[in-house]
């Protein structure tokens, strides 16, 4: 299928998933236009949860630069589909941090830091958009 929606349109159309905290963070950190203008990138989008909510994001936005850094840890240059990962592969985020994506038999794809600390689980992946590819995470990446 040829994608017809950008990241924002795709995020708003995924059934049963909400990304209000991510959207609030992107707007508050002045990154929404940057994300909307990005091409050929991979976006790791954390779902809303009790640990990642609009209220939590609003409290963090007292330091928009820190929030921007966290958000840029959710973007990787190039469209990376899971078939290109294999058992394990390291990627550098737009914030300059390295993430290790590994496949495990019990959880599927898991994102860790280089020390092996688990940061997030992939809950849905390989969603094509007009800007690249989207993967949905169970929680935000905090490197």
User: Measured in Å, how far apart are the chain's first and last C-alpha atoms?
Assistant: 34
Domains of the chain by range and CATH? 7-137 (2.30.180.10)
Q: Are 19 and 45 in contact (CB under 8 A)?
A: yes
Per residue in 17-63, pLDDT (tens digit) is 999 999 999 999 999 888 888 999 999 999 999 999 999 999 999 99
Residues 6 or more apart whose CB falls under 8 angstroms from that of 64 comprise 28, 29, 30
Query: Which pLDDT value is given to residue 36?
Result: 87
Per residue in 53-69, pLDDT (tens digit) is 999 999 999 999 999 99
Whether the per-residue pLDDT at 94 is higher than 80: the answer is yes
Whether the per-residue pLDDT at 1 is higher than 80: the answer is no
DSSP character for 48?
Answer: P
Residues 6 or more apart whose CB falls under 8 angstroms from that of 57 comprise 21, 24, 25, 28, 67
């Amino acid at each position: 299928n040829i994608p017809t929606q950008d990241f924002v349109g795709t995020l708003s159309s995924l059934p049963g998933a909400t990304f209000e905290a991510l959207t609030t963070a992107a707007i508050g950190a002045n990154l929404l236009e940057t994300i909307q203008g990005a091409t050929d990138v991979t976006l790791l989008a954390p779902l809303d949860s009790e640990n990642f909510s609009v209220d939590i994001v609003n409290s963090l936005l007292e330091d928009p630069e820190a929030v921007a850094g966290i958000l840029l840890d959710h973007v990787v240059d190039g469209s990376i589909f899971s078939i290109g990962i294999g058992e394990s592969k390291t990627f550098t985020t737009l914030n300059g941090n390295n993430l290790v994506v590994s496949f495990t038999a019990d959880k599927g794809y898991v994102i860790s830091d280089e020390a092996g600390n688990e940061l997030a689980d992939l809950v849905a992946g390989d969603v094509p958009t007009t800007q690249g590819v989207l993967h949905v995470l169970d929680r935000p990446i905090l490197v």
